[in-house]
Amino acid sequence: MSVLTADAPAVTGIGVVAPTGIGVEEHWAATLRGVPVIGPLTRFDASRYPSPFGGEVPGFDAAERVPGRLIPQTDHWTHLALAATDLALADAGVVPAELPEYEMAVVTASSSGGVEFGQREIQALWRDGPRHVGAYQSIAWFYAATTGQISIRHGMRGPCGVVVAEQAGALESFAQARRYLADGARVVVSGGTDAPFSPYGLTCQLGSGRLSTGADPARAYLPFDAAANGFVPGEGGAILIIEQAATAQDRSYGRIAGYAATFDPPPGSGRPPTLERAVRAALDDARLTPADVDVVFADAAGVPDLDRAEADAIGAVFGPRGVPVTAPKSLTGRLYAGGPALDAATALLAMHDSVIPPTAGGADVPPGYALDLVGAEPRPARLRTALIIARGYGGFNAALVLRGPNT
């Protein structure tokens, strides 16, 4: 199959719209500072809810970053993705008008769609009646809205896709981008964002039982720490521009070298979890061995059982303390579909600058985890290969192998 033999595709552009900032520079500086940007939600008054904290994109003004007509017809989640796409295209130096329309593709991941927009309209329906639902509800709420709007805005008529695998979705979007390239696309806009903050969106998330209910935002999301007590959600994500290796030439941040996805058996089945297999299969796909991996960006659920399961899988593949592990999402909260997209962006920047970004908290890693967790300070290191792990609620596992540009 051509997807497996083609030269590994290159990432040529990164667009970040995340709690760590807007644009690569802001994001990377904030990530290296290592100070969590989690606080009380400002998008609505969340003080009555048991998990009132989140990571919000600071200073995001849709009027500055989204065409005026698109603002009322799209949800905040799509605003964030449109802004990230603009940044990524500019970063890559890709001018869509100059490229063949059918050779530009789009694939995004979403978890909760246009949840804030949807809550507004569903409230209008139930409070005021059916005629109070606006015309844009039909195109703003559903999970495909972001891909459709990106395609339209940039005249991209190649394959257009949307994947949902909760937090694992963004990695799946990169795998899908690789398939599109193998089929002849030249440029793929891929990645993901989410914007899960409306009162109903938060209420739904509380159902997962995984949100932190800690009272101190600085201690609310402590992945791999003995004090881990759940996670804090965040909004935003990243969009990457992925191109065929041959056309990317010297504009590359790095390459998509390998990918695999697995799914866990249901609880109580007695069958083993499958994350370890996903990691091994992704390395096989990249034709690499565990020894080639210089850093792991962990899923870092912040839930003790899940942290232990991930530590076990990493240990099984790499050996005890066998590879540096980091979780910069400890700074931002978990961005759902946006999270692993942001991790991929961060990993590419880390390889470029030869430094592993820090993990907030993580001061007290249970010895049984046997993790070499990068703590509160960045760690300089020569980085050629990074592994990104993502797990989606319900049993989704994905692993992505990125390599630096000159590997």
Partner 1 sequence: MSRPQGGGPRRVAITGMGVVAPGGSGRKAFWNLLTDGRTATRKISLFDPAGFRSRIAAECDFDPAAEGLTPREVRRMDRAAQLAVVSAREALADSGLVAGEGDPARFAVSLGSAVGCTMGLEDEYVVVSDQGRDWLVDHSYGVPHLYRHLVPSSLAAEVAWAGGAEGPVTLISTGCTSGLDAVGHGARVIAEGSADVALAGATDAPISPITVACFDAIRATSPNNDDPEHASRPFDRERNGFVLGEGAAVFVLEELEHARRRGAHVYCEVAGYATRGNAYHMTGLKPDGREMAEAIRVAMDAARVAPADLDYINAHGSGTKQNDRHETAAFKRSLGERAYELPVSSIKSMVGHSLGAIGSIELAACALAIEHGVVPPTANLHNADPECDLDYVPLVAREGRIRTVLSVGSGFGGFQSATVLREAA
Partner 2 sequence: MATRERTIDDLRALMRAAVGEADDIDLDGDILDSTFTELEYDSLAVLELAARIETQWGVLIPEDDASGLETPRMFLDYVNGRAVAER
Q: How many residues does the chain have?
A: 407
Q: Which DSSP letter does residue 306 get?
A: H
Which residue, 205 or 359, has its beta carbon nearer to partner 1? 205
| By CB under 8 A, residue 68 contacts partner 2 | yes
The least CB distance from residue 78 to partner 1, in Å, is 11
- Do 172 and 178 touch, CB atoms closer than 8 A? no
Q: How many CB atoms lie within 10 A of CB 58?
A: 16
| By CB under 8 A, residue 129 contacts partner 1 | yes
Query: In angstroms, rounded to a whole number, what is the distance separating the alpha carbons of residues 140 and 72?
Result: 9
Query: In angstroms, rounded to a whole number, what is the distance separating the alpha carbons of residues 37 and 15?
Result: 19
For residue 261 the two structure tokens come to 């996805």
Angle made by CA atoms 48, 192, 233, in degrees to the nearest 5: 20
Q: Among 48, 69, 127, 271, which residue sits at the site for partner 2 (rule: CB under 8 A)?
A: 69
Which residue, 97 or 135, has its beta carbon nearer to partner 2? 135
The least CB distance from residue 221 to partner 1, in Å, is 17
Q: Among 40, 93, 95, 152, which residue sits at the site for partner 1 (rule: CB under 8 A)?
A: 152
Q: Quick one: which H or E segment has residue 173?
A: helix 169-182
Stretch that binds partner 1, among 216-224, 229-237, 255-263, 382-390 (CB under 8 A): 255-263
155-194 residues near partner 1, rule: CB under 8 A: 155-166, 169, 172, 175-176, 179
| By CB under 8 A, residue 100 contacts partner 2 | no
Q: Which does 316 bind (CB under 5 to 8 A by kind): partner 2, partner 1, none?
A: none
107-126 residues near partner 2, rule: CB under 8 A: 124
Q: Among 128, 183, 284, 377, which residue sits at the site for partner 2 (rule: CB under 8 A)?
A: 128
| By CB under 8 A, residue 218 contacts partner 2 | no
| By CB under 8 A, residue 213 contacts partner 1 | no
Q: Among 35, 70, 218, 381, which residue sits at the site for partner 2 (rule: CB under 8 A)?
A: 70
| By CB under 8 A, residue 132 contacts partner 2 | yes
| By CB under 8 A, residue 336 contacts partner 1 | yes
| By CB under 8 A, residue 284 contacts partner 1 | yes
DSSP β-ladder status, 295-297 and 324-326: parallel
The least CB distance from residue 120 to partner 2, in Å, is 13
* Alpha-carbon distances, residue 78 vs 61, 67, 180, 337 (angstroms): 13, 12, 22, 12
Which residue, 125 or 182, has its beta carbon nearer to partner 2? 125
E strands within 218-329? 236-243, 254-263, 295-297, 324-326
Query: In angstroms, rounded to a whole number, what is the distance separating the alpha carbons of residues 5 and 197?
Result: 42
Measured in whole angstroms, how far is the alpha carbon of residue 95 from the centre of its chain?
Answer: 25
298-327 residues near partner 1, rule: CB under 8 A: none
Q: Which residues contact 168 (CB under 8 A, 6 or more apart)?
A: 261, 340, 390, 391, 392, 396, 397, 398
Of 346, 349, 341, nearest to 167 (Cα)? 341
Q: Among 50, 134, 319, 368, which residue sits at the site for partner 2 (rule: CB under 8 A)?
A: 134
Stretch that binds partner 2, among 14-22, 98-106, 135-143, 257-265 (CB under 8 A): 135-143
**79: buried, middle or exposed (CB in 10 Å: 19+, 13-18, 0-12)?**
buried
Which residue, 84 or 156, has its beta carbon nearer to partner 1? 156
* Alpha-carbon distances, residue 308 vs 163, 214, 304, 368 (angstroms): 28, 20, 6, 8
Which residue, 83 or 281, has its beta carbon nearer to partner 2? 83
- Do 89 and 188 touch, CB atoms closer than 8 A? no
Which residue, 137 or 330, has its beta carbon nearer to partner 1? 137
| By CB under 8 A, residue 368 contacts partner 1 | no
The least CB distance from residue 94 to partner 1, in Å, is 15
Q: Among 135, 207, 267, 367, which residue sits at the site for partner 2 (rule: CB under 8 A)?
A: 135
Query: In angstroms, rounded to a whole number, what is the distance separating the alpha carbons of residues 167 and 147?
Result: 18
| By CB under 8 A, residue 133 contacts partner 1 | yes
Q: Among 31, 110, 326, 332, which residue sits at the site for partner 1 (rule: CB under 8 A)?
A: 110
Measured in whole angstroms, how far is the alpha carbon of residue 101 from the centre of its chain?
Answer: 27
Under the rule (CB under 8 A), what is the footprint of partner 2? 67-73, 124, 128, 131-132, 134-136, 139
